[in-house]
Amino acid sequence: MTESQYAQVAQDSADVVIIGAGPAGLVLGNLLQRAGIDCVVLERAASAHIRHRARAGYLAAHTVRVLERHGLDEGIRLRGQEHSVCEFRTGAGRFRLDYRHLGRGETHTVHPQHELVSDLLACFVAAGGRVRFGTEAVAVRDADSPAPSVTVREGDGRPARWRARYVAACDGRHGVGRRSLPPGAVRRHRRDHGVTWLGLLAEAPPSLDAVGYAVHPHGFAGHMARSAEITRYYLQCARGTLAEEWSDERIWDELALRMRASEYGPLVRGRVVQRAVVDLESDVLEPLRYGSLFLVGDAAGLISPSAAKGANLAVLEAEILARALTDALTRHDLEPLARYSERCLEHIWRAQEFSHWMIRLLHGTRDPGKSSHFQERLRRSRMASLRDSRTHQDWFAENYVGV
Ligand code: APR
């Protein structure tokens, strides 16, 4: 549609238009709402979809503090499970790290992300927050001006337009926020880690009382509790693998083999209810701002799932932006907004570095079975250092739980 055509469509406005109702968008919306800032969340999916979409689930101590600080932690207090143990299984044996007693002594809280999103949505609406489901943002216009707008396609297909003072793209790595950036506005730093995982959700209780990381000649396998009934597993697989090539039986047999179930105890099997192949890659945009448009969460940068950082970075960035927008809109102090990108990138790169280290700790080579001997020996040495050095364990704990 042309500018003049959009001039005819339904108009609405908010001081801050937030695109996306994931962890980033809903934390930002709640914090702005509490600060009395006029904002709206535009979400293309239906409410039921985002409230049942199984995603991450390991909340860092900082994330819990942010939610506690703003009274958004009721669900976590009632249902969150504290977690603090990793178990590493390799050909040289197994060892456990209880990071409650390492580093800063911080622990994770296991709280399935769809429950966190449901909690955040309920808080936002209860506080009078405006959210429009089934509303897909099509483009961010005039982002380099003090009067940006977001053109949308509403549930019935009708075009509409939201005028704003600021726009927060919390719409993920494929969202319209990134797509609306003009060429050359930001630099994209990208890395393909050369590793592919078959991500699984099983209707089965956890088989370990720890996050399990297994390294085997066949490749990596991972075990992460999601709830008392659901467990997340990962199997490293060759690039180009099709999820449907893996039957439930083949999945459980391979998990048992790689996690050395014959030595350390059987896995509790169940129906595999979700399987998806994911190539581990990361990217970071710099800067995280273009005029009145700000990038938050996965829209700002994608991090591999190897260290469960994605949702935690999203919450951290949302709090930094909420404070900066509040300063700008209530006290006309533009300095925090000017520093938003620099402040977030410092945390993003620290998390990227640790996530990359984890990938190299758990995967000797690009494709399981193809051994690059030198890389494999480096990997074993990293694992031995983590097993034997308290200093290394403190560094691991600080970065594993920290954001
Ligand atoms: N218009 C409106 N909504 C959109 C659009 C669009 N054009 N594009 C995407 N969305 C919505 C998606 O439907 C989704 O609900 O934006 C939301 C983005 O949410 P997430 O993908 O969860 O991203 P974010 O909030 O940044 O959270 C990042 O959470 O999902 C976990 O670990 C994962 O790292 C990830 C982290």
- Cα–Cα dist 234/251, whole Å: 10
Nearest CA to ligand 1 atom 9: 171
Strand partners of residue 267: none
Query: For residue 138, which atom of ligand 1 is closest to its CA?
Result: 7
Segment 351-395, tens digit of pLDDT: 999 999 999 999 976 555 565 788 889 999 999 999 999 999 999
Instruction: Decide: 295 in ligand 1 pocket, CB within 6 A.
Output: no
Query: Between β-strands 136-141 and 211-216, what pairing exists: parallel, antiparallel or unpaired?
Result: unpaired
The residue from 111, 223, 309, 347 that is catalytic is 309
Q: Is 301 close to ligand 1, i.e. is its CB under 6 Å away?
A: no
Q: Which residue blocks in 22-166 are alpha helix, DSSP H?
A: 23-34, 47-52, 61-69, 74-79, 113-126
pLDDT of res. 1 = 65
pLDDT at position 7 over 90: no
Ligand 1 centroid–CA 252 distance in Å is 31
Task: Count the Cβ atoms, other than its own, within 10 Å of residue 114.
Answer: 18
Ligand 1: which residue has its CA nearest to atom 30?
A: 55
Atom 23 of ligand 1, residue of closest alpha carbon: 172
pLDDT in tens, 309-363: 999 999 999 999 999 999 999 999 999 999 999 999 999 999 999 999 999 999 9
Burial class (CB in 10 A: 0-12, 13-18, 19+), 182: exposed
Contact 287/341 with Cβ under 8 angstroms? yes
Is 58 a known active-site residue? Answer: no
How much is the pLDDT for 6?
Answer: 64
C-beta of residue 193 within 8 angstroms of C-beta of residue 280: yes
Q: How far is the CA of 169 from the centre of ligand 1 (A)?
A: 9
Active-site residue (options: 83, 108, 347, 356): 83
Q: Which tens digits make up the pLDDT trace of 26-76? A: 999 999 999 999 999 999 999 888 877 767 788 999 999 999 999 999 999
CB 127 within 8 A of CB 33: yes
Q: What is the pLDDT of residues 241-295, one digit of tens each?
A: 999 999 999 999 999 999 999 999 999 999 999 999 999 999 999 999 999 999 9
Among residues 112, 148, 206, 305, which one is catalytic? 305
Ligand 1 pocket, residue 19 CB under 6 Å:
yes
pLDDT (tens digit per residue) in 199-215: 999 999 999 999 999 99
- CATH numbers and ranges of domains, the chain: 3-83+106-190+282-357 (3.50.50.60)
Mean pLDDT, residues 92-105: 96
- Cα 356 to the center of its chain, rounded Å: 15
Do 5 and 145 meet the contact criterion of CB atoms below 8 Å apart? no
- 108-161: pLDDT as tens digits: 998 888 889 999 999 999 999 999 999 999 999 999 999 999 999 998 999 999
How confident is the model over 220-235, as a mean pLDDT?
A: 93
- Told to judge if 370 belongs to the known catalytic residues of this protein, a careful annotator would answer no
Name the residue of 179, 298, 303 to mutate for ligand 1: max ligand atoms within 8 A of Cβ.
298
Report the run of H or E that residue 131 belongs to, with start and end. strand 130-132
What predicted TM-score, i.e. pTM, was given to this entire model?
Answer: 0.94
Q: How far is the CA of 299 from the centre of ligand 1 (A)?
A: 8
